[in-house]
Structure 1
């Protein structure tokens, strides 16, 4: 779709595609694992829905009130792990970092909130499998997406 579009430096067509047309966004009604990662400072969150059969991620969706970086990373990550096993999903975190290239500190936190929500969904799945009556599992983020504004005199350094 974006093959003939001149990309801004540092932006690849796959990232732009996920930004313009996020994949797997929304609620998964038959999820057997639901996880939330919450940035208490900014109130940004990611909800991750997984449907697991044995160790295979049969379906996955996510939702967020976060920024475009969070949406892109959530979209790319869910596409990578869908219909794969949990071992692959654990390596997908590293693979997505390579795909995205050098990330700013804020983008790294956006990625971390997506991955944490995924891990929370796996914890919810395990807890329910072990008899817990848990609607979802919540992880509170240690790092915040909030950034300090750059002063004008620092912009050109």
Structure 2
């Protein structure tokens, strides 16, 4: 129970005073994780050498949830080895996939008009974490591409979601007006 209290305190701290928020001017790599369904993104700026993450900052146009998760994640990897940060990201990604899979299937009410029959299922928390982790992976990819001679300002990656009630990726269809 004490560990749970410590986790809640840490989350509260990052909620009220996010760490590492802003642009890192001398970043070696810049990655963007985009959720095309909501047009939300996280941009991550990383200063690194071959072995370590020397500094990291992030920005987002997302929710407070996204800012809090970005703050927590950047504090976790700041000063870590590249290998350690990648391992942390992989472990968090595994937890994220389990979290997506645990979302209950939406309720269907066939008595309602078409387009309103399926209850909306929120994946906001998962998508926020997904954008943060995707931005990190995009930044690492940007670094590799720069080392390979590709000159670009940043590298962007779309988040990938898997619907818990489907065996395929989520598909978002805009409702006709």
Asked if TM exceeds 0.5, the reply is yes
Alignment map for 1:10-29 (pairs within 5 Å): 12-29=8-25
* Contact kept in structure 2, 1:76 and 1:96, CA below 8 Å: no
Residues 98-121 of structure 1, C-alpha deviations (whole Å, 9 max, x = no match)? 8xxx78742122111100000100
Gaps of 5+ in 1: 1-8, 145-157
2:20 partner SS: coil
Residues 45-64 of structure 1, C-alpha deviations (whole Å, 9 max, x = no match)? 00000011112000100000
The reply to whether residue 87 of structure 1 matches residue 87 of structure 2 is no
1:29 partner SS: coil
Q: Which residue of 2 aligns with 1:62?
A: 58
* Contact kept in structure 2, 1:77 and 1:96, CA below 8 Å: no
Q: Which residue of 2 aligns with 1:108?
A: 126
TM-score (norm 2): 0.68
The structure with the larger Rg is 2
Alpha-carbon separation, structure 2, partners of 1:117 and 1:95: 13
* Shift of residue 136, structure 1, vs aligned partner: 0.4
Number of residue equivalences: 132
Alpha-carbon separation, structure 2, partners of 1:32 and 1:59: 10
* Shift of residue 92, structure 1, vs aligned partner: 2.1
* Contact kept in structure 2, 1:34 and 1:136, CA below 8 Å: yes
Match of 1:30 among 13, 23, 26: 26
Alpha-carbon separation, structure 1, partners of 2:80 and 2:20: 15
Alpha-carbon separation, structure 1, partners of 2:147 and 2:92: 29
* Shift of residue 19, structure 1, vs aligned partner: 0.5
* Shift of residue 40, structure 1, vs aligned partner: 1.4
Match of 1:130 among 136, 143, 148: 148
TM-score (norm 1): 0.76
Residues 76-113 of structure 1, C-alpha deviations (whole Å, 9 max, x = no match)? 11001011111111232336988xxx787421221111
RMSD: 2.4
Q: Mark the CA change 1:67 to 1:53 in structure 2 (over 3 Å): closer, same or farther.
A: same
